[in-house]
Structure 1
Amino acid sequence: MDSDVSQNGETKATFQNKENTMNGLTTVPTSVTLSSEQFERLYLTPMTVRQSPLAKKVGNPTPLRFCHYNHPLSCCLMAWRGAGGNGIAFIGPIVFLGGLLLLITSILEFIIGNTFPCVVFGTIGGFWFAFAATMIPAFNAAAPYSSSGTDTAAGLASEAFMNTYAFLFITMAVLMLIFLICSTRINVVYTVIFLFLLLVFLLLSSAYWQLGQGNAASGDRCVKGAGASLFVASLLGFYLLIVQLFECVGFPPFLPVGDLSTFWTRNQDKGDREDVERPATVR
């Protein structure tokens, strides 16, 4: 029968370590521990709980979110170089670089236990899928609003469709407001991104209602304002992509993102000290 202890009193583990040393082998750690600041830089979520074991073993999916196509879409909304059509030319990028990439990122964030990025990326990815489906004739979403009942392009330009579709942007604006409040636990860059995304959806809803009422000039200004806001948000997204990729590969120097977690921790610690110092009242 095998024994865990050899005749000279050495355990099997000790014997194996000596054998590895003799062969010139060294033990290499297979996991890393991130600080709270590094965790929030990489995963865009506050470290309010213990770091997930999977986060130490699998890659970080968060940078995938910022490999987006918002930049060309924003140029289209601002009508640069004669661009137009409110993004119809970007059906392919909307589906694959927008919806599909965000859906994959959301699933991966769910697997490693990052709830906030999972909800954010999944919601925005679902929006891009819905936005693309509305403009694809096979889904027959806008065609019933046309006079013939079969023309998708005419349906997209009809007053009834615009007045109805604007409510989708209002709903997305409410979600961006919720995400904006939650992002104040993470960093300044992320918070500013949601602020501009909130402006994007508010301006788009205003644009659709203005165009639906026949106010073409006001509607076009709102569309261009939404494009400008999306342009700023996309630039900040590229900045976060650079920060995260530099952090992943250890490329110095580390760029600032305006960490807000220390602010919340400081206020929480202050509140805890006040609770301890406050004398108990007897009723």
Structure 2
Amino acid sequence: MSNSTEFETFQANGCVPDVEKNHMEALREIATNRSVVMSAEQFEKLYLSPHNKVKGELRQTYGNPTPMALVGFLLCLQPLSCTLMGWRGASNFAASIIPAYFFLGGLLMFVSGLLEWVLGNSFSSIVFSSVGCFWFTFGGILCPSFGTYGFYAKDGEPMQSGLADPGFNASLGFFLVSFGLYALVLLVCSLRTNVVFVLIFLTLVPAFSCLGAAFWYMAEDIAGTTATVTTLFQAGGAVLFVTCACGWYILLAIMLAIVDFPLQLPVGDLSTVIKGRSERD
């Protein structure tokens, strides 16, 4: 009887030689307990958040919501940046895509933020949910149904006249500058993630500063400021275009990593450069 026939007979009778049995049990144990162990660099690249330890295996059970948030962010910011620069005659803050501000920038990013929270990724959860709420707010400001600028319209004048009211423009300027300040806070915190993510916040700060300043100039309603306002809008749009370029790059890098593509794009890991306080203690 050959060795293979003998082994098949043992298998049929439920008997396996000790060597083969131990080998198969070892393989079974490896297959059962096998898990993907990510380095700190891989983790911050996929989740845009410093690596942290959480209970459970939710990150291995569920998918990665990070690219979903980036998609919503980019599909709103890209047309907005082009509109601010006035490309191909685009104007009015891309009001034609107000639904995208709600359902892509707002809903998609907010849901992604909640999913990041479930996975225990606090930083990315805060970033995505707050920026998602910004898109909800921005869409609401532009949507006539909310009546935000109509509140500033004088009696007997159409709702759109409120867009030129100094009070409306000054208030909107404060909102945009405040969001620029928030982006500065995120910039400091992102120094423990990667270079590309840092560049996103680094460009958001001057972009929102330009937009806020533009609305403040509009609120002054001084003759000769039209050219300055246009320049500030174009400058803000140009900087946001750079933000989008960084966003598209990091989205592609994450997607390539998710599908285990042979080519991987570097994002400039900073998690090992700037050590956390807990790592130093």
State the TM-score, normalized to the length of structure 1.
0.82
CA contact (8 A) 2:153 2:165 kept: yes
What TM-score do the two structures reach when normalised by structure 2?
0.83
More helix by share: 2
The whole-number CA distance in structure 2 between the counterparts of 1:164 and 1:266 is 38
Task: Classify 1:251/1:82 alpha carbon distance in 2 versus 1 (closer, same or farther; 3 Å).
Answer: same
The alignment of Structure 1 onto Structure 2 pairs a total of residues equal to 255
Q: What code does the residue aligned with 1:152 have? A: M
Deviation, structure 1 residue 50: 5.0
Structure 2 residue identity aligned to 1:33: V
Q: CA RMSD in A?
A: 2.7
Runs of at least 5 residues in structure 1 that lack an aligned partner in the other structure: 1-16, 273-283
Q: Report the counterpart of residue 254 of structure 1 in structure 2.
A: 264
Match of 1:242 among 247, 252, 264: 252
Q: Measure, in 1, the Cα distance between the counterparts of 2:133 and 2:110.
A: 7
Q: Paired residue for 2:4?
A: none
Equivalent position of 1:81 in the other structure: 88
Cα distance between partner residues in 2 of 1:236 and 1:94: 20
Q: Deviations over 1:106-132 (max 9, x none)?
A: 110011011111111111111111111
Deviations 1:39-75 (A, max 9, x none): 1110011114358621111100000122132111110
Counterpart pick for 1:189 among 186, 190, 196: 196
- Residues 1-283 of structure 1: matches in 2 within 5 Å? 27=31, 29=33, 31-50=35-54, 53-67=57-71, 68-69=74-75, 70-148=77-155, 151-214=158-221, 215-265=225-275
% of aligned pairs identical?
37
8 Å contact kept, 2:54–2:120: no
Q: Which amino acid letter does the alignment assign opposite residue 249 of structure 1?
A: V
The whole-number CA distance in structure 2 between the counterparts of 1:35 and 1:194 is 24
Distance 1:149 1:142, change over 3 A: farther
Q: What amino acid is aligned across from residue 110 of structure 1 in structure 2?
A: W
Q: CA deviation at 1:262?
A: 1.0
Amino acid at match of 1:242: L
Q: Distance in 2 between matches of 1:256 and 1:182?
A: 20
Distance in 2 separating the partners of 1:246 and 1:72: 24
